[in-house]
């Protein structure tokens, strides 16, 4: 997975960061969560998004939007199970100074 920050500003104690993320076929984001809310747009490919219960899976294709809520109780993974790269445009609305994501261990799912 690669990411490029396209724009960043801080307003009233929140960082607003616009980032382009590319996940190659077979790649993942790794298990993680966010300290703030994330808003995403799928520009290319198909993203498979699975929650920490290992059964709640959403598939987002080109043109789809989705929201990832904040907090360590929202651990998830994004995977590219397709044949072309997934390209996402993501807006992070984080508490100022927070990392873009926090790594989390695999919650026991049979895949990485």
What confidence score (pLDDT) does residue 29 get? 96
**CA torsion, ordered 92, 95, 99, 101, to nearest 10 deg:** -50
Q: Please report the pLDDT score of residue 53 as a whole number.
A: 94
Q: Find tokens 């590319």 and name the residue.
A: 22
Whole-prediction pTM: 0.92
Q: Which domain holds residue 7?
A: 2-102
**Where residue 18 sits, what CATH number does that domain have?**
2.60.120.10
Number of domains in the chain: 1
> Is residue 92 in some structural domain?
yes
d(CA 17, CA 26): 26
Residue 37 forms part of a structural domain? yes
Task: Say if 93 falls within a structural domain.
Answer: yes
pLDDT at 27: 97
pLDDT in tens, the chain (112 residues): 999 999 999 999 999 999 999 999 999 999 999 999 999 999 999 999 999 999 989 999 999 999 999 999 999 999 999 999 999 999 999 999 999 999 999 999 997 6
User: How high is the pLDDT of residue 100?
Assistant: 96
In a domain, 70, yes or no: yes
Nearest to 89, CA basis, from 64, 72, 69, 71: 64
Q: Is residue 60 part of a domain?
A: yes
Asked if the structure places residue 110 within a domain, the reply is no
In a domain, 112, yes or no: no
- Residue at 86 is within a domain: yes
């Amino acid at each position: 997975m690669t990411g490029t920050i396209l724009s960043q500003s801080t307003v009233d104690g929140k960082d607003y960061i616009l980032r382009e993320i590319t996940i190659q076929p077979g790649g993942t984001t790794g298990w993680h969560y966010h300290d703030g809310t994330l808003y995403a747009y799928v520009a290319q490919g198909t993203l498979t998004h699975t929650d920490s219960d290992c059964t709640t899976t959403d598939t987002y294709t080109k043109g789809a939007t989705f929201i990832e809520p904040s907090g360590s109780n929202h651990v998830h993974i994004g995977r590219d199970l397709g044949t072309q790269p997934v390209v996402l445009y993501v807006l992070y609305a984080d508490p100022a100074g927070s990392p873009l994501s926090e790594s989390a261990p695999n919650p026991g799912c049979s895949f990485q």
